[in-house]
Structure 1
């Protein structure tokens, strides 16, 4: 028998009680029964609550975990700029190369696969590709139909471009227009020496001085006498005139193969177009850069004569043209200041000494040199003719020319040579230069749309800049680039303070120059003002289907502006073309010029500041450092060339610079079979080494202010500082032909792969970031550093 439970007894008592109480028995019984049900309900509810609590805890844990991992895993940048940068870098890099062995090969090892060198170019690089992109953009703008809303200069630029492409009209107008210009210059269409028996030496009159002045005024071409307008080195608020060595290319400075192409294109109906790949043979051929011989000159002159004299049969005068070629070469070889005579690979020259002379004082100097008793008036006559249309701007007797000792010496020797030559020979020399210059431009049917766009951009650069300018640049991009430059300047200043080889006075003067350095970024803001742009080009005449006339008109317009305004006080001066993919330091103005064309991918807009500072940031630092390289250090904060460093600091500077000279002189460029000239490239190497340090420090300061950046897609294993150096290396990627390699050895810039190697092997920070052990090629024990 089962024992009676407490619950059974409780129920029995309740039933009994209910029987005794009629009125309440049903209700009471019901309540007692519900009491039993209530216990089950409480249990279920409590069970449910426990399950719910566990679920909440579980979900909270999941949410917390998601939050935790979302905030501890690196963020990834998925902007289009980041995706493009990631794809580009991945394509260019060769991860099979050890970055501590050859960082250039590591970053640029596959670059040539997607960026082959065009057959008509000796090299290809990011800079050249971006410049071509700019020209294509210019071409696209110039090919648009004219709009009523276009400023007049933009419409004129489009007219000039269309005339350049009209080869039939160019050939039709050519001979007549060229003859007109030769007459204006005072030159015949055929050299007088072709029929010299008609004119004896005493009977023939030719004013060569007036002729070269007119050519300068109308074509901007230096012939025999070089002319320029320069900033006064004693007062930067004014300009000075100078007469100097003529820097225009001479016919005998053309490589022989260029001469052949030039004159083949000069007379288009006589030959088939010449392929551009006709480069000189292997770089071992030392004669590849020699100019044409007498026979080639004779052939070129004959074809020019036929091109500008319809009906002229040059075959009847072949012997006479051979004599012309020989005479030209003989005269050229007597001229002073030939490039070959002045070449100095050591570049170890004293600072140029500048002096001031009135025109009469210069005349006395040259007269005394050639024959004191036989004056040879030249300089006043030259300037009178040059400024003839602008009497208000004509130099006075009190105006002094700013001259270097080197140019004084050149002018003395020039006058002596010219004064001893038959005047017909001088005429031949001028005729040969000018006709070649004009004919090669007018009859060049191999010019492409890009060539024509480039011509327009050269002559009407500000109008073209207006057409392609991003109107949001001034408010968006420019302030960010200025902020980057300020960061870099701050780091340079800090590096100066940290130096232990500069005395206090020189440090202070250096900091003052850095703070005073002007920055011109993008383009002049006023070109976006249509009224000001049209005022700037007021007076320029451009005609439909008149290519040569437009070309000369535009040059004459530019020269007119220079000659008329040479006395105007120097204000903010944009010594650059906004559409050029480059950057400059104008040392005699203490200014950095950063054209808008270089503020583009792959130098900027890269998605991450690590990449931006590694590319454009290094460029900005490079240009700033040029103000303190082996040349820039000679200019003070006002741009005056003077000695402003102490002797002790100069000695210490030279010691450190000599380390760079020796370092880079050991680099051997196998493609050109030669070593780099460490002296010639010193200024650029100083700027490279200083610029990368400043940019790297500036990026670290940026991260300290703003916190870490997102990761680059596909580069999870790379730190941002590694990406900084990869971006720097990427902007230097290029591919060159053997001829290009030989040319690079003569350049003031080191070859790209050695720019990368030289700079990074001098940076301990690079070796730390990529964990390069001491003694590896990219982490040598001996490092060079100026800044």
Structure 2
């Protein structure tokens, strides 16, 4: 029962719930005790709507014999009017609570009750939501998360567009200035691509623009080091400073295989003539031409670039073969790295972005030593002009969204083919996203101050305790307030309202320097790596904690006015999901201190792998009919294990809550029990549609299964779901054979 309901009923029956059969004037209102109410609910009786009543304390009389008939009439009329007003207020309050629960896209409106829930619960829960919510022209997909993201963006827009106030500190002013500089389209157009050309010159030049470009002046180490250190862009290989997986209190230099220009290696290797590859090649050529390259030369040289990147893609390891971090992890000195890849001067490269004196005894960790060897072989067999063109065009791509309209139009055309979108998101939304991405701690502080109540945090903490008592201290919504050193560092960042592109470059440099200076610092396990104003949740194996930003604590995941069934079916499952990540295919490899270590015996590991293989096989059998391809059960296994474990934990926690507090009132308008509502809300979190292009990319690259599979998979494995919805044994949602890891 919510606090509002409790105080409401206390006014009538001292905490007991009044029931309302017809009764004679002046009779006491009959009340159900807590025990009787629980028994009634257990029998499946619908609780009646709570109303407020007023009692006249003088026996059975509404007025006294001493009054005149007019006085008696007026007194009774006033009493009836007063009673009617109180009833109206009570109904309005209850109606408001119901509106807050249901909203414009309510559970009722989202459901397609013509579908049998035991055959396809996703369509049952989301069929009408998907019909009512078409994918906007500027998005590759639209789902519950996207909708909440859009709602959050509107709130952030209001905060960033507020005029400067006396109470604003320097950090808040910088966030507002950054947003304004992004919105200043006329100034961006006036400045043009001049700052980009300056950047290209600092990198070492763009050969396609200069027929006289000389290979003799080209240094691979300098070019890669400069773009990593000054422009925060790793190309050809990934490099960073982060927590050492086997010594989680220390930071270390990390090397890995890179992200490619296309979403995954499959796009290069499966079909070189696909529309995706052709549009990617055209995009590279168009950008070069916009910068002044001859069109024929640009086409030829970008074709060479594509061939080079295809060779790089071919020597990368597929993502679904990179789940065992213990096998990937390899610590060595720079001296050993130099011996492994002797064609590259590693110390010279690191000097460009590591702000400390390094020697050959410095330790590094590489997660892809074989890739580094093969990568250098590809580079050695490619002319330097092509290598330089590739590095520069990939770096330019990072900054195209911040350039003038003609560059953004070229990107928009590429995205039309690769993602199926036909226009960019509104400029204000792009600027809000950028400010939140780059100054997320500041923007998050603004959001939390105006939109987040401490009660929400306290309730979420209580739910975490109920789901996994051992993790009862792991929510740190207010961590952004504690890192004064971050605020001091932020003061050094200069933001100018007139020079947006330069602001972008300054932010990239700021981020790169902050990341690299951690090398000689211990790992700060209390520091948030995520920002508060996002709709997501996270598990960090190096710190062994789960993080729930304020942005996700909103409907349909959570609300103060929701019954516990909805909250546990929403944010409760998310909490369970993130906790389970500590014990999935990757998380199980880290001990309680966040160190990569085998802390299970071999028998336990083999049993885990056997159970995980069941889930891999199950999910690999699911076909996404939209594009006719099956899910990659191996690549998605960690998230699938977390979905299944989170659902089970949250339902058990909700059941224990009911045991302690009794059944909740049933919601009017839904012919569903509270336990059925738990599973319905879980399913409706995943309502959504995606374009074919997005579906293909998700199948090929994502560690998350599509939304429909995140409903069908866990629920068909759940004995609790089958019991609550009374699904026959052998039905689609209650198969004979089920998979379970946790």
- Over the residues paired in the alignment, what is the CA RMSD in angstroms? 3.2
Structure 1 CA distance for aligned equivalents of residues 378 and 466 of structure 2: 55
| 1:228 positional shift | 0.9
2:170 is aligned with 1:217 = no
| 1:452 positional shift | 1.1
Structure 2 CA distance for aligned equivalents of residues 155 and 473 of structure 1: 21
2:442 is aligned with 1:430 = no
Name the residue aligned to 1:745: 699
Query: SS in structure 2 opposite 1:630?
Result: coil
Name the residue aligned to 1:759: 714
- Aligned ranges for residues 73-112 of structure 1 at < 5 Å? 74=47, 76=49, 78=94, 80-86=96-102, 88-112=106-130
For residues 408-435 of structure 1, what are the alpha-carbon distances to aligned partners after superposition, in whole Å with 9 as ceiling and x for unaligned?
2222333344345544443323332233
Gaps of 5+ in 1: 1-57, 257-282, 307-313, 368-375, 491-514
| 1:533 positional shift | 6.4
2:376 is aligned with 1:409 = no
Name the residue aligned to 1:385: 352
Name the residue aligned to 1:539: 492
| 1:607 positional shift | 1.6
Name the residue aligned to 2:56: none
| 1:326 positional shift | 3.7
| 1:712 positional shift | 1.3
For the structure 1 residues 631 and 543, does the alpha-carbon distance in structure 2 shift closer, same or farther, using more than 3 Å as the test?
same
2:252 is aligned with 1:240 = yes
Query: SS in structure 1 opposite 2:689?
Result: strand
For residues 368-410 of structure 1, what are the alpha-carbon distances to aligned partners after superposition, in whole Å with 9 as ceiling and x for unaligned?
xxxxxxxx451111112223xx4xx333443211223x2x222
Q: Is the 8 A contact 2:208 2:297 kept in 1?
A: no
Query: SS in structure 2 opposite 1:130?
Result: helix
Structure 2 CA distance for aligned equivalents of residues 691 and 171 of structure 1: 49
Name the residue aligned to 1:262: none
| 1:217 positional shift | 1.5
Query: SS in structure 1 opposite 2:568?
Result: helix
Structure 2 CA distance for aligned equivalents of residues 402 and 430 of structure 1: 23
Q: Is the 8 A contact 2:464 2:472 kept in 1?
A: no
| 1:604 positional shift | 0.2
| 1:244 positional shift | 2.9
Q: Is the 8 A contact 1:86 1:713 kept in 2?
A: no
2:193 is aligned with 1:175 = yes
| 1:485 positional shift | 0.6
Name the residue aligned to 1:463: 442
Structure 1 CA distance for aligned equivalents of residues 477 and 271 of structure 2: 42
Q: Is the 8 A contact 2:115 2:124 kept in 1?
A: yes
For the structure 1 residues 178 and 713, does the alpha-carbon distance in structure 2 shift closer, same or farther, using more than 3 Å as the test?
same
Name the residue aligned to 1:362: 337
| 1:99 positional shift | 1.8
Larger Rg, first or second structure (1 or 2)? 1
Structure 2 CA distance for aligned equivalents of residues 457 and 669 of structure 1: 34
| 1:698 positional shift | 0.5
Structure 2 CA distance for aligned equivalents of residues 230 and 164 of structure 1: 31
Structure 2 CA distance for aligned equivalents of residues 323 and 737 of structure 1: 32
2:598 is aligned with 1:643 = yes
Q: Is the 8 A contact 2:209 2:288 kept in 1?
A: no
Q: Is the 8 A contact 2:188 2:404 kept in 1?
A: yes
For residues 337-387 of structure 1, what are the alpha-carbon distances to aligned partners after superposition, in whole Å with 9 as ceiling and x for unaligned?
x168533657786842433322222212222xxxxxxxx451111112223
2:276 is aligned with 1:289 = yes
Structure 1 CA distance for aligned equivalents of residues 182 and 266 of structure 2: 24
Q: Is the 8 A contact 1:251 1:291 kept in 2?
A: no
Query: SS in structure 2 opposite 1:237?
Result: strand
For the structure 1 residues 607 and 145, does the alpha-carbon distance in structure 2 shift closer, same or farther, using more than 3 Å as the test?
same
Gaps of 5+ in 2: 1-21, 41-45, 51-93, 409-423
Equivalent residue pairs, number:
645
Q: Is the 8 A contact 2:477 2:532 kept in 1?
A: yes
Structure 2 CA distance for aligned equivalents of residues 621 and 758 of structure 1: 16
Structure 2 CA distance for aligned equivalents of residues 660 and 418 of structure 1: 40
Structure 2 CA distance for aligned equivalents of residues 644 and 517 of structure 1: 23
Structure 1 CA distance for aligned equivalents of residues 432 and 289 of structure 2: 31
| 1:713 positional shift | 2.4
Between 408-417 and 119-128, report the one with greater CA deviation: 408-417
Indicate which of 693, 699, 718 corresponds to 2:672: 718
| 1:295 positional shift | 6.6
Structure 2 CA distance for aligned equivalents of residues 434 and 677 of structure 1: 31
Name the residue aligned to 1:124: 142
Query: What TM-score do the two structures reach when normalised by structure 2?
Result: 0.80
Q: Is the 8 A contact 2:322 2:328 kept in 1?
A: no
Structure 1 CA distance for aligned equivalents of residues 266 and 510 of structure 2: 28
Q: Is the 8 A contact 2:445 2:480 kept in 1?
A: no
Structure 1 CA distance for aligned equivalents of residues 153 and 23 of structure 2: 60
Q: Is the 8 A contact 2:240 2:515 kept in 1?
A: no
| 1:695 positional shift | 0.6
2:27 is aligned with 1:63 = yes
For residues 187-234 of structure 1, what are the alpha-carbon distances to aligned partners after superposition, in whole Å with 9 as ceiling and x for unaligned?
25x6475235xx5x5xx3223322221211121101234211121123
Q: Is the 8 A contact 1:79 1:607 kept in 2?
A: no
For the structure 1 residues 345 and 156, does the alpha-carbon distance in structure 2 shift closer, same or farther, using more than 3 Å as the test?
closer
Q: Is the 8 A contact 2:315 2:375 kept in 1?
A: no
Query: SS in structure 2 opposite 1:230?
Result: strand
Structure 2 CA distance for aligned equivalents of residues 348 and 208 of structure 1: 31
Structure 2 CA distance for aligned equivalents of residues 770 and 657 of structure 1: 26
| 1:699 positional shift | 0.7
Name the residue aligned to 2:76: none
Q: Is the 8 A contact 1:86 1:712 kept in 2?
A: no
For the structure 1 residues 634 and 565, does the alpha-carbon distance in structure 2 shift closer, same or farther, using more than 3 Å as the test?
closer
| 1:629 positional shift | 1.3
- Aligned ranges for residues 316-327 of structure 1 at < 5 Å? 317-327=294-304
- Aligned ranges for residues 383-532 of structure 1 at < 5 Å? 383-387=350-354, 390=355, 393-404=356-367, 406=368, 408-419=369-380, 421-444=382-405, 448-470=427-449, 473=452, 475-490=454-469, 515=470, 519-526=474-481
For the structure 1 residues 558 and 328, does the alpha-carbon distance in structure 2 shift closer, same or farther, using more than 3 Å as the test?
same
Name the residue aligned to 2:618: 663
2:151 is aligned with 1:133 = yes
For the structure 1 residues 727 and 521, does the alpha-carbon distance in structure 2 shift closer, same or farther, using more than 3 Å as the test?
farther
Query: SS in structure 1 opposite 2:454?
Result: coil
Query: What TM-score do the two structures reach when normalised by structure 1?
Result: 0.75
Query: SS in structure 2 opposite 1:641?
Result: coil
For the structure 1 residues 697 and 752, does the alpha-carbon distance in structure 2 shift closer, same or farther, using more than 3 Å as the test?
same
Name the residue aligned to 1:155: 173
For the structure 1 residues 478 and 299, does the alpha-carbon distance in structure 2 shift closer, same or farther, using more than 3 Å as the test?
closer
Query: SS in structure 2 opposite 1:601?
Result: coil
For residues 473-523 of structure 1, what are the alpha-carbon distances to aligned partners after superposition, in whole Å with 9 as ceiling and x for unaligned?
473211210110111114xxxxxxxxxxxxxxxxxxxxxxxx379623434
Structure 1 CA distance for aligned equivalents of residues 301 and 254 of structure 2: 32
For residues 250-304 of structure 1, what are the alpha-carbon distances to aligned partners after superposition, in whole Å with 9 as ceiling and x for unaligned?
6998989xxxxxxxxxxxxxxxxxxxxxxxxxx999823325576764444122x
Structure 2 CA distance for aligned equivalents of residues 778 and 649 of structure 1: 30
For the structure 1 residues 230 and 222, does the alpha-carbon distance in structure 2 shift closer, same or farther, using more than 3 Å as the test?
same
For the structure 1 residues 771 and 147, does the alpha-carbon distance in structure 2 shift closer, same or farther, using more than 3 Å as the test?
same
Indicate which of 294, 307, 329 corresponds to 2:306: 329
Structure 2 CA distance for aligned equivalents of residues 352 and 433 of structure 1: 30
Query: SS in structure 2 opposite 1:356?
Result: strand
For the structure 1 residues 340 and 396, does the alpha-carbon distance in structure 2 shift closer, same or farther, using more than 3 Å as the test?
closer
Q: Is the 8 A contact 1:93 1:108 kept in 2?
A: yes
For residues 626-651 of structure 1, what are the alpha-carbon distances to aligned partners after superposition, in whole Å with 9 as ceiling and x for unaligned?
11112221221122222221222222
Name the residue aligned to 1:735: 689
Query: SS in structure 2 opposite 1:638?
Result: coil
Query: SS in structure 1 opposite 2:546?
Result: strand
